[in-house]
Amino acid sequence: MAVSLILLPRATERHTLGQDTRNILLQSLILTFILSGGVALICWVFPDTVIRLFFGEAYLEAAALVGLYASAMLLFSLNIVLIHYSLAIHNLWLMLLADIITLVEVVAIVLMHQSLFQIMWILVWGNLLILLVNLPYLVFKRPGRYGQSSKG
C-alpha cells in the first residue's frame, strides 16, 4: 500500500503533463514484488516459524496454508499497484474489470467454500487473472492515450 500511495501522485502528475508514466508503474511493481515477494518466500520456507511468531503453537495446523495465502496476497499487492495506476491515468475501465473479477471471486468462495485450500486457490487464481489481464495492457500501452498529449 505504501508503494501505491507514492505511485499515485507521481503518475497522476506525469499523466496530466502528458508524459509517459510506464516507468513509474514498472518501478512500483518491482518494489512491491521485492517487498511482498520476500514476505511470501519467508512464509513458504518457514511457515511454522511464522505461525509460532504471530499466532502461537495452537495454530500450527494452519502452517500448510500460510505460503498459499502469502502468494495470494503477493498477487493482490501487485493488483493494488495496478489499480492505483489505473486511477492515476484515468483508466476506470481496468478498475471496473478488476471489480468484476473480484465479485466473481466472492461468488466462487460462497459457492465453493468446502475448505480453506479451495478459498486460497480461488484468491490466487482470481488475483492472477486480474494481474494477467491488466498488466500487459498497462505496461505496453502507447503514450498519448486517455487524455495524454503526444508530447514526451
**84-119 pLDDT tens trace:** 888 888 888 888 888 898 899 899 889 887 888 889
Residue 122 identity: I
- Neighbouring CB atoms inside 10 A of 140's CB total 8
pLDDT of residue 87: 86
- What is the pLDDT of the chain when averaged over all its residues? 85
**Are residues 138 and 82 in contact, defined by beta-carbon separation less than 8 angstroms?**
yes
Q: Map out the domains of the chain as residue ranges.
A: 2-140
Asked if residue 150 has pLDDT above 70, the reply is no
pLDDT of residue 73: 95
DSSP 141: P
- Give the model's confidence band at 151: pLDDT under 50 very low, under 70 low, under 90 confident, else very high: very low
**Are residues 54 and 70 in contact, defined by beta-carbon separation less than 8 angstroms?**
no
Helix axes 63-88, 47-54, angle to 10 degrees: 80
pTM above 0.85, yes or no: no
- Give the model's confidence band at 141: pLDDT under 50 very low, under 70 low, under 90 confident, else very high: low
Q: Which three cell numbers stand for residue 147?
A: 487524455
- Neighbouring CB atoms inside 10 A of 72's CB total 22
